[in-house]
Structure 1
Amino acid sequence: MDKQATNETTLPVTVREPGPGEDRDELVRLLFGDAAASAKRPEEYEARYPRRPLPKGAMVTRYAPSPTGFMHIGGIFVSLINKRLSVQSEGVFFLRLEDTDVKRAIPGALDTIVDSLARFDLSPQEGVLRAPAKEGGGPEARGEFIQQGSYGPYIQTERVEIYRDYAIDLIRRGFAYPCFCTVEELDAIRQEQMALTVKPGYHGRWAKWRDAPLARVKDALASGTPFVLRLRAPDDVSGRVEWKDGVKGVISMPVNDLDTILLKSDGIPTYHFAHAVDDHLMRTTHVIRGDEWISSMPLHLQLFRVLGFKPVEYAHVPPIQKLDRVEETDPETGEQKVSDARRKLSKRKDPEANIEYYREIGVPETATIEYLLNIANSAFEDWRKANPDKPYSAFPLKLNKLAPGGALSDLVKLKSVSQAVVSRMSAEEVYTQGLDWARAYDRELAALMERDPEYTKRALGIERGGKKSNKRIVTWPDLRPQLFFFYDELYDGLQSFDFPENVPEADRSAVLKQMLDAFDPADSKEAWFEKVRQIGVTLGYAGEVKQYKASPESWKGHVGDVSMVVRVAICGTRNSPDLAEVMTVLGEQRVRARLARFL
């Protein structure tokens, strides 16, 4: 067994004893031709990608999606955890594009990934980024894609030479070999294994090319048969592999027993091989990903070991789940039984799997992030209550405190979080983010908001700020019912007005006539309300609600009914923020016109 010098990120490199007549250098030359002579050695890559100069304990994390479709809410969830942990520890968060599955790649998917991360304030410090848009390009202009950082390329199809060189090294050390099995031969192997009820796959005696002599390889190459490169599974597959997962604790599983493909016939690596090489050379410290990858851990740990890499720290987070109502019939009694079954959010079945759903229903991005933090760590909810004015980024997220079990998608909770987030926003923030949504989903409202931005901001500023900040806006579609009465075009389109039933039309006209005569825009809230009270009293309405409740038979109603008449006349709805503040924003001319409309 040969060894090479090790450092904190490498392990002793082992070499399998060659078999009789085995010439690995000749095998490499046959398989890779001239590239074999120019292939770099692992130590050259170690020098090219040195350890990162970061503080002790700094976490280097990544989000490594494939460009195969829309951005799943799980992608934002995992990116959030990765970025928060890296930023908290003064580390690095980078984006790597894992585009080795060329057949499944979708045009525009990279735009979706990069722009989605930016929308949720999760842009990486390194990797695939979008450059700033050129000046004069308009509001929809976007910059070109760039790769930023010293550990690239950050797109896997641009790293093919690196994977090839590591594959050559594995062949030389006896841990990889070419396999020339055709599709028909692999299918025959599967059929035989099914007939024998044994584990399917390329392993054991079915790994027909594992120890093939050089002459047989030469014949296959001469015939033009394409080949893949496979990893040699351990000779002893009876053992187990154990590791400490950052979320789930200690996990033990049987060792990998399959001769897995490393390089496909076109030279493109599989995910398993590429991620091991990339995460080592990019000096990733923690791979935080969905727990669907736990089943691959024996293979991944074997790859790190045979490549001579110290394994990264792995942490597997559970998926966001959904309850399905399942109806079953008892075969004996015929009784119908209903139960709830958990399942992972489905791209096909569940609209909330797609992050565009959250934008469409008008949930601010910050609210979606805080909702996901609630899912990641239940302690966030209490922290938020104790720290209402701090940004979510001040919450100390800890890897070992992440919930090990899958949380349920809860749209009621999502909207509750959204309401709280919007209530903490300034009028400027509500205007900017609400307008962005309206431009896409309510163009009529957007045009009105943009016509006079300062007027709209004053309207949005009513009851905003303080402990009792306006919580009328839950999601952005609530902007229309909260703003429509500030725009004459929308107010004038009302067909009916919901005046209090206990105020007859004659009293209603009297209230509005006296209010029109008494209205003074210089009045304070208190002075204005006192006028409403006096108008009501002269018409037989109690000046205090408690007066009315004490002797309802003595009064037509109370001051609340009188003020509601004024509210409905001016706003067209019973639901509006502080009416005195509303009238101040509307202005004297508009207020008088609306009162006069009913006279």
Structure 2
Amino acid sequence: MLDRAVIDALFPADLPEPEQWEQQYPPRQLPEAAQVTRFAPSPTGFVHIGGIYTATIDRDVATHSGGVYLVRIEDTDQSREVEGALTQFARGFEYFHLAADEDDGHGAYGPYRQSDRERIYLTYVRHLLRQGKAYLCFATKDELAEITARQQAAKVPPGYYGRWAIWRDADPADVAAKLSDGTPYVVRFRAPDDAAKRRVRFTDAIRGELEHEANRNDTVILKSSDQSPRLPTYHFAHAVDDHLMRVNLVVRGDEWISSVPLHLQLFDALGFVPPTYAHIAPLMKQIPGGKRKLSKRNDPEASVDFYLQAGYPAEPVLYYLRGLANGRLAEMPLDAALTTPIRLDQCGAAGPLVDLVKLEDISADYIATLTSRQVFDAVRAWATQHDPELADALNTETDLALRAIAVEREGVDNPRKDLHKWSDFRPAYGFFFPQLFTPLAGTNDQRITPLGVAPDVATSFARDFADGYEHRTDSQEWFNQLRELAATHGFAPTAKEYKNNPDAYAGSIREASQLVRVALTGSTRSPDLHAITQALGADEVLRRLRALGV
């Protein structure tokens, strides 16, 4: 074991002792059952929708227990940091109403960014070195590769442990010589001597009692001495941070279950009480023949930006995610499900399937409950970020937009459900706006061709309809003028009569109506035709009819 003076010389002379950090970050004064949770994203990649799922659980459990939900940025692996990742985290957390009680910028237990906590970590690394629970390791990459090759040849578990850990019990004189030469080193945690013979049992808040082999590896806890700043590895940093931030419940993905034995060893070596771990199952995707994890590389819907760019309202997405966490919440109305506590013991051990079709149905149901003004405000906010041309149309034609949205929405028992997300607005309602709609270019326009009406009939019908058009507010009276004109242009009064004698007619009243519909909307499918005319106004109706009647 190294002399204390040698150890202390490796660290800043003014480095605080552990007691000082303990005083700076005292136990929280919270109710006895309060849960302090943390969501700890790493800026080495863009946030997965599973991150929103986890953060939702974190925030809910903390809030309903009278505890604290904090966000801590785990950026110790700075070489892999992705530019813009932290901005995306902030954007996603704001959109999904997951603002933390404490995070980088406010809170008494910060800093909440690991790269700003170097001195804290160094204190506890020094503490373990002084106690002989950690040691300096000068092994080179080549030496580590040689050890791995020899282990493979000997058919023993790979790793840096026991007799394979060549600096574990090194002579202090050899260590001093390396230090004198300025040889770079890392600091490794000294796993318990009997770790290879032990089993670890712990209680998972979701999965119950679990048992695993104890960690045998002398894991690196402080990265190479030739790096600045001197930052720890995730395993060590999270143990120090969770203790000093007084986190008592860690909700994280089940890929971390295998790390629990190491983490428990670190908490024990540091003299900390470990938190309760709750390992959630990953979100899954149905594929032919089975299912697999939802992947950011292969599945667009895995990225949080997918939902923001498409414009899914936050409420139905959160409702859907909460239902994946606890099935009973999926059976509740949305408002109730968003306020009913999530229970960890009802989170399944099998990964729930993400079904976008189901999410879109939920979202459409939600949007159908909103007023025209609420839809307008939400679409405009989305379009400002993602569709500037639409945003300009909404700002220029606000009254028209409100009239358009109100069609078959206001004053009806079953509102339209043509919007599943805000990006659906332009395809569904864009035709209402003159600056977004291209009028038909006469009967040669391909949008007319599928109706099967002779071009000269279509032209004369549209021209005559425009010439005698009356902008009637009564829907039946409005339609009667169309019906009367259709009869004079050779259209059958009913589809049945046309079907019985197709050669005698230019089409049926259906085709005549569809001519007007396509002229006004550019599509054969649209809301109620009379309601559209009332939203557009007489001048715009006539402009579009005359474009067809050219």
Summarize the Cα distance change of 1:467–1:282 in structure 2 as closer, same or farther, 3 Å threshold.
Answer: farther
Task: Provide TM-score, normalisation by structure 2.
Answer: 0.86
Of the three residues 394, 398, 420, the one matched with 1:474 is: 420
Task: Give the corresponding residue for 2:223.
Answer: 264
Residues 1:572 and 2:522 aligned together: yes
Task: Give the corresponding residue for 1:419.
Answer: 364
Residues 1:378 and 2:378 aligned together: no
Return the offset for 1:527. 4.8
Summarize the Cα distance change of 1:562–1:301 in structure 2 as closer, same or farther, 3 Å threshold.
Answer: same
Task: Give the corresponding residue for 2:68.
Answer: 92
Residues 1:105 and 2:64 aligned together: no
Distance in 1 of aligned mates of 2:136 and 2:83: 33
Are the counterparts in 1 of residues 148 and 159 from structure 2 also a CA contact under 8 Å? yes
1:32 aligned counterpart, secondary structure? coil
Return the offset for 1:396. 3.0
2:158 aligned counterpart, secondary structure? coil
Return the offset for 1:342. 3.7
1:303 aligned partner, one-letter code: L
Of the three residues 26, 32, 48, the one matched with 2:11 is: 32
Distance in 2 of aligned mates of 1:282 and 1:209: 33
Of the three residues 181, 199, 206, the one matched with 2:139 is: 181
Of the three residues 170, 182, 186, the one matched with 1:224 is: 182
Of the three residues 193, 208, 211, the one matched with 1:249 is: 208
Return the offset for 1:525. 3.7
2:295 aligned partner, one-letter code: S
Are the counterparts in 2 of residues 67 and 109 from structure 1 also a CA contact under 8 Å? yes
Summarize the Cα distance change of 1:520–1:39 in structure 2 as closer, same or farther, 3 Å threshold.
Answer: closer
Summarize the Cα distance change of 1:261–1:502 in structure 2 as closer, same or farther, 3 Å threshold.
Answer: closer
Task: Give the corresponding residue for 1:314.
Answer: 277
Summarize the Cα distance change of 1:540–1:381 in structure 2 as closer, same or farther, 3 Å threshold.
Answer: farther
Residues 1:458 and 2:403 aligned together: yes
Distance in 2 of aligned mates of 1:576 and 1:444: 22
Alignment of 1:115-154 (within 5 A): 115-128=91-104, 147-154=105-112
2:75 aligned partner, one-letter code: D
2:331 aligned counterpart, secondary structure? helix
Return the offset for 1:323. 4.8
Are the counterparts in 1 of residues 462 and 546 from structure 2 also a CA contact under 8 Å? no
Task: Give the corresponding residue for 1:519.
Answer: 470
Which segments of 5 or more consecutive residues in structure 2 lack a partner in the other structure?
A: none
Residues 1:583 and 2:533 aligned together: yes
Task: Give the corresponding residue for 2:50.
Answer: 74
Return the offset for 1:533. 6.3
Summarize the Cα distance change of 1:431–1:402 in structure 2 as closer, same or farther, 3 Å threshold.
Answer: same
Distance in 1 of aligned mates of 2:430 and 2:90: 35
Summarize the Cα distance change of 1:537–1:261 in structure 2 as closer, same or farther, 3 Å threshold.
Answer: same
2:72 aligned partner, one-letter code: R
Task: Give the corresponding residue for 1:492.
Answer: 439
Summarize the Cα distance change of 1:376–1:539 in structure 2 as closer, same or farther, 3 Å threshold.
Answer: same
Select between 239-248 and 192-201 the one with higher mean Cα deviation.
239-248
Return the offset for 1:167. 1.9
Alignment RMSD, CA only?
3.3
1:322 aligned counterpart, secondary structure? strand
Return the offset for 1:537. 8.1
Summarize the Cα distance change of 1:211–1:501 in structure 2 as closer, same or farther, 3 Å threshold.
Answer: closer
Summarize the Cα distance change of 1:427–1:55 in structure 2 as closer, same or farther, 3 Å threshold.
Answer: farther
Task: Give the corresponding residue for 1:333.
Answer: none
1:177 aligned counterpart, secondary structure? strand
1:296 aligned counterpart, secondary structure? helix
2:248 aligned partner, one-letter code: T
Distance in 2 of aligned mates of 1:56 and 1:461: 51
2:102 aligned partner, one-letter code: E
Alignment of 1:188-199 (within 5 A): 188-199=146-157
Are the counterparts in 1 of residues 48 and 304 from structure 2 also a CA contact under 8 Å? yes
Return the offset for 1:302. 1.3
Distance in 2 of aligned mates of 1:580 and 1:250: 65
Distance in 2 of aligned mates of 1:447 and 1:71: 30
2:218 aligned partner, one-letter code: D
Summarize the Cα distance change of 1:588–1:55 in structure 2 as closer, same or farther, 3 Å threshold.
Answer: farther
2:252 aligned counterpart, secondary structure? strand
Return the offset for 1:294. 0.9
Of the three residues 33, 47, 55, the one matched with 2:31 is: 55
Are the counterparts in 2 of residues 507 and 539 from structure 1 also a CA contact under 8 Å? no
Distance in 2 of aligned mates of 1:223 and 1:497: 81
Summarize the Cα distance change of 1:525–1:125 in structure 2 as closer, same or farther, 3 Å threshold.
Answer: farther
Task: Give the corresponding residue for 2:246.
Answer: 283
Distance in 1 of aligned mates of 2:183 and 2:462: 94
Return the offset for 1:290. 1.2
Are the counterparts in 1 of residues 440 and 544 from structure 2 also a CA contact under 8 Å? no
Distance in 2 of aligned mates of 1:215 and 1:540: 108
Are the counterparts in 2 of residues 30 and 218 from structure 1 also a CA contact under 8 Å? no
Are the counterparts in 1 of residues 121 and 240 from structure 2 also a CA contact under 8 Å? yes
Distance in 1 of aligned mates of 2:452 and 2:119: 82
Summarize the Cα distance change of 1:437–1:243 in structure 2 as closer, same or farther, 3 Å threshold.
Answer: same
Are the counterparts in 1 of residues 439 and 544 from structure 2 also a CA contact under 8 Å? no
Summarize the Cα distance change of 1:488–1:324 in structure 2 as closer, same or farther, 3 Å threshold.
Answer: closer
Summarize the Cα distance change of 1:149–1:563 in structure 2 as closer, same or farther, 3 Å threshold.
Answer: same
Are the counterparts in 2 of residues 513 and 595 from structure 1 also a CA contact under 8 Å? no
Task: Give the corresponding residue for 1:208.
Answer: 166
Select between 115-124 and 193-202 the one with higher mean Cα deviation.
115-124
Are the counterparts in 2 of residues 27 and 214 from structure 1 also a CA contact under 8 Å? no
Are the counterparts in 2 of residues 515 and 532 from structure 1 also a CA contact under 8 Å? no
Return the offset for 1:176. 1.8
Return the offset for 1:391. 7.2
2:296 aligned counterpart, secondary structure? coil
